[in-house]
Amino acid sequence: MTTPTALSAPSPDRTRWLALAIVMTAAFMDLVDVTIVNIAIPSIQRNEHASVGQIQWITAGYALAFAAGLITGGRLGDIHGRKRLFLVGIGGFTLASALCGFAANPEMLVASRFLQGGMAALMVPQVLSIVHATFPAHERGKVFGLFGAIVGLGAVSGPLLGALLTEWNLFGLEWRPIFLINLPVGVLAWLLGRRFITESRAPKALKLDLVGVALVTLGLLMLLYPLTRGRELGWPLWGYVSMAGAFVVFAGLVAYERRKAARDGSPLVELSLFRVKSFAAGIAVQTVFGVALGIFFLVWTLYMQIGLGWSPLRAGLTGVPFSLAVSTAAGLSVQQLVPRFGRKVLQTGALVMGAGVLLYLWEADRYGLAIASWQMALPLVVMGLGMGLIVAPLTDAVLSEVPREHAGSASGLINTVQQMGNALGLGLVSVVFFGRIGDRLAPAEVGPAFAGAFRHALWYVAGIMGVIFLLMCALPRRPAQHVEGAGEETPVTAVPSPEREPEPQPAG
């Protein structure tokens, strides 16, 4: 029983925090890449003569490949090693970014975006898994606070960075630098990750559940593809049939995974995780929270750029107070507030974010099309503070009682349900936002129509924050690590590969 402690002693704190900086950089790259493309779409369409369908696939291809592969990517990390899969993922992501940046035509760009999303699905689940396996329980609160800050920065850095890179037209490359900027960052992260990240994997040998992979991928595609393309295609009947069929596939997946777990103990989706109250409740909150974010960020961008006629750069700069507020509150919440107040911090965050949405609604109604960026700062700061009180503690709460051998599977599920929530939110935009805008608008009618639709959508976002507040009542009063305190859990090197001797120095 004393072996883990003895083994962990030689591992210096410096190595753990360097590893954290590396995986957080990768997480930031993914967060930025999800949003950076939207700003550059007009430039891509103009310079590459891309069709409307190709433009849709440039954005949707990444999201679909990413969401469909997350659970599988997480489980592959459990089986083959989280460091190994992280390096494969970030290497492939960097290569795919180069292919996007040097794409000779729209077809190559679409294919490269699919590859980029697939590589992100290998990379991103390992981030939380490595954190979970590398840091002892009493340090994870601080770590998830930093993770929440990264989420806040990524939320608006993508549009702002995309606007800057596109408007600067570096070396006459037009939109291409939005992808090429990943190359030096990705190469450096790969080299440092190879040296400083310590390998970890599930302590017992697992096998990849290929039938589970097929069912998960099929179900997610059947659900997310109609949500992604539904509005552009006019919500055809087959889309509704596909979404309904997805739930049949998921029901079949649950039945199969139960038999798989009983037979050999290595299912793709570890259903036993849902018996952990903190995990099940956190997953529900994560899904609904994703819906709210999916609605808000899209309608907010459309409101500023089309409704108010602002440039991409002005719209990006307007979001800076929001980003700073999220980052500040995220660090404060996990390190200082959650240990004292527990679940109440997350519930307060839901109420504060809802209050910020209502304040934004009031200001948008009062000032109309004459609203200025500085007038949006107050509601955005309030919303950002509320979001910061949620994002970091929520991840902490979801993973706090998850066994280490299932860290990859749990991480993949967290990211998957968030993507599903976002996709559902984007699908609902057609109802709560575009449903309020006429098909044929005179130029003078565009601004008022988009401003009115924005206010209408904000009512839905505020209502969803109320639902999230109620769902949070099912979360544990305090995450497990804050109750257990300092660390009798095994730290960084306590989950070595089963077939290898424990190493006192970082792998690489």
**Amino acid at the residue 253:** L
Fill in the amino acid letter for 364. Answer: A
DSSP letters of 304-348? IIIIS---HHHHHHHTHHHHHHHHHHHHHIIIIIHHHHTHHHHHH
Q: Mind listing the pLDDT tens digit for each residue in 102-120?
A: 998 889 999 999 999 999 9
Q: What is the mean pLDDT of residues 182-187?
A: 93
Diameter of the chain measured on Cα atoms = 75
- pLDDT beyond 80 at 204: no
In the structure, what pLDDT confidence band is assigned to residue 4 with cuts at 50, 70 and 90? very low
Instruction: Report residue 484's pLDDT band, with 50, 70 and 90 as the boundaries.
Output: very low
Cβ count near 216 (within 10 Å)? 25
pTM comes to 0.75
Q: Which among 445, 343, 359, 437 is positioned nearest to 398, based on CA atoms? A: 343
pLDDT digits (tens, 9 = 90+) for 207-253: 788 898 899 889 888 887 887 777 777 789 999 999 999 999 999 99
| pLDDT tens by residue, 359-383 | 999 999 999 999 999 999 999 999 9
Q: 152, 384 in Cβ contact below 8 A?
A: yes
HEC letters along 70-113: HHHHHHHHHHHCHHHHHHHHHHHHHHHHHHHHCCCCHHHHHHHH
pLDDT tens string 286-345: 889 988 988 898 788 888 888 898 887 888 788 888 888 888 888 788 778 888 888 899
Residue 506 has pLDDT above 80, yes or no: no
Closest to 137 (Cα-Cα) out of 422, 451, 407, 396: 396
pLDDT digits (tens, 9 = 90+) for 411-454: 778 877 887 787 778 777 777 887 788 767 778 888 899 999 99
**Mean pLDDT to the nearest integer, 51-74:** 78
pLDDT: which is higher, 472 or 9 = 472
Per-residue pLDDT, 486: 35
Cα separation, 315 vs 304, whole angstroms: 6
Given this model, what pLDDT does residue 343 score?
86
Report the length, in residues, of the chain.
508
Pick from 298, 336, 340: which is nearest to 315 by CA? 298
